[in-house]
Amino acid sequence: MPVWRKGPIKMNSNQSVPYLDLLAQMKPLRKEIDSAIAKTLDNCSFCLGPDVAQFEKDFARFCEAEHCVGLNTGTSALHIAMLLLGVGPGDEVVTTPFTFVATSWAISYVGAKPVFVDIDDATFNLNPSLVERAITPRTKAVLPVHLYGHPCDLEPLLAICRKHNLPLIEDAAQAHAAKYRGKTIGTFGAMSCFSFYPGKNLGAYGEGGALVTNSAAHAARARALRDHGSTQRYYHDEVGFNYRLEGIQGAVLGVKLKHLAKWTSERRRVAHRYHELLAGTPLQLPREADFAESAWHLYAVRHPRRDDLKKHLEANGIGCGLHYPLPVHLQKAYAQLGHKAGDFPVAEKAARECLSLPIYPELADEQIQRVATVIKQFFNK
Ligand SMILES: Cc1ncc(COP(=O)(O)O)c(C=O)c1O
């Protein structure tokens, strides 16, 4: 059961820093949110409806894309992306083992096989230099993830996709507003998939997701697939799903989207402050590649004694998280693929060493300083 004020609350609550604090974000927006929700209730537009339609327009514009299709989750967006590309049983999709498992679920949902490729040690994202050798005649798509909000290196990946005539899909679930070479991510590939899970940089007050694309044909079919495969009520052209975005979530997202650019710069402030305060500690700090403007969904530091550091932070009232402790290829759910420890050593090492520190737009400088002080105490012990 998710808790939206995550992390231990210490006796001396001035000293505690929650890992995530959605209440702090909600408070100043509360009136705006309340009246947006009240409008949806007055309209009785609970499933899709005008608020979702307006949000779709606004989010498409934000991503500099032609179309946005609102969906119930990011996982559904990835599933629909697979269907739109005709990926099916016997096909392969090249992706990263270092991600939230939903990335590869979508591949499995359509009966295809996730083919994992190790990550780049500096960015935690799919390593473009390893992708080409994973391509076979069965490969149908390449599905990189902009993990932690840091864009993956799209140019070399797109060059490989062009050479092999493969579509690229961006898993942008963690990367709203991130930029690759100065351009907002979301339209580099054939389509991109966003999550609006509450803890995301743009989070609903419930579940939410979207598929963003410049293709009118893909958008139209995605709209039908999310609504039981129909464009006309009670006429079903293909087997579809109930993947509709709720009206109330459309209203909430519409309000929150107006703040996303400001929140992203606040996240950048927090990241830069951590860089300053933690420089010189034994931690390996996350850095933006020269092509990237990260959305700083997460700030993941690395250290071989990660588990001890986590205990120390928690004992001192600092919330922190593991993203992700077990790479996808070693999950029980994928045992049938026959992978073993050592197959993707860079991802496996990252899984052992990464620790996510609190990062959100509302994090005050004193809180950042507190996190840094407690980390320094750990290393000075
Ligand atoms: C990288 C990545 N892909 C996909 C998803 C799935 O999104 P959702 O939780 O909205 O289904 C998530 C969400 O946690 C994610 O982080």
Could you read off the pLDDT tens digit of each residue along the chain, which spans 381 residues?
455 566 554 445 568 999 999 999 999 999 999 999 999 999 999 999 999 999 999 999 999 999 999 999 999 999 999 999 999 999 999 999 999 999 999 999 999 999 999 999 999 999 999 999 999 999 999 999 999 999 999 999 999 999 999 999 999 999 999 999 999 999 999 999 999 999 999 999 999 999 999 999 999 999 999 999 999 999 999 999 999 999 999 999 999 999 999 999 999 999 999 999 999 999 999 999 999 999 999 999 999 999 999 999 999 999 999 999 999 999 999 999 999 999 999 999 999 999 999 999 999 999 999 999 999 999 998
The neighbour count for residue 353, using CB atoms within 10 Å, is: 18
Q: What is the number of the ligand 1 atom nearest to the C-alpha of 197?
A: 10
Ligand 1 in reach of 334 Cβ (< 6 A): no
Ligand 1 in reach of 213 Cβ (< 6 A): no
Residue 92 CA to chain centroid, in angstroms?
22
Alpha carbons 210 and 78: distance in angstroms, whole number = 9
Report the separation in Å between the CA atom of 151 and the middle of ligand 1, taken as the mean of its atom positions: 15
Ligand 1 in reach of 209 Cβ (< 6 A): yes
The vertex-323 CA angle with 312 and 202, nearest 5°, equals 110
- Cβ contacts of 89 within 8 Å, gap of 6 or more: 110, 111, 112
Alpha carbons 180 and 242: distance in angstroms, whole number = 33
Q: What is the number of the ligand 1 atom nearest to the C-alpha of 102?
A: 4
In one-letter notation, the amino acid at residue 44 is C
Q: Whose CA is nearest to atom 8 of ligand 1?
A: 74
Q: What is the number of the ligand 1 atom nearest to the C-alpha of 147?
A: 1
Query: Which of 260, 254, 269, 290 has its CA nearest to residue 54?
Result: 254
Q: What is the number of the ligand 1 atom nearest to the C-alpha of 208?
A: 10
Report the separation in Å between the CA atom of 71 and the middle of ligand 1, taken as the mean of its atom positions: 12
Q: CA separation (Å) from 278 to 15, 28, 286, 370?
A: 18, 30, 11, 11
- pLDDT, residue 6, reads 61
- pLDDT, residue 15, reads 84
Ligand 1 in reach of 96 Cβ (< 6 A): no
Ligand 1 in reach of 103 Cβ (< 6 A): yes
Alpha carbons 82 and 98: distance in angstroms, whole number = 20
Ligand 1 in reach of 73 Cβ (< 6 A): yes
Q: What is the number of the ligand 1 atom nearest to the C-alpha of 196?
A: 10
Ligand 1 in reach of 106 Cβ (< 6 A): no
Q: Which tokens in the block code for residue 6?
A: 């995550």
Report the separation in Å between the CA atom of 102 and the middle of ligand 1, taken as the mean of its atom positions: 6
- pLDDT, residue 56, reads 99
Give the mutation target among 72, 174, 191, 322 for probing the ligand 1 site: most ligand atoms within 8 A of CB: 174
Q: CA separation (Å) from 321 to 34, 77, 126, 196, 366?
A: 31, 25, 22, 19, 20
- Cβ contacts of 212 within 8 Å, gap of 6 or more: 59, 60, 63, 65, 67, 68, 69, 172, 186, 187, 191, 192, 193, 194
Place of tokens 């499995």: 108
Alpha carbons 264 and 205: distance in angstroms, whole number = 19
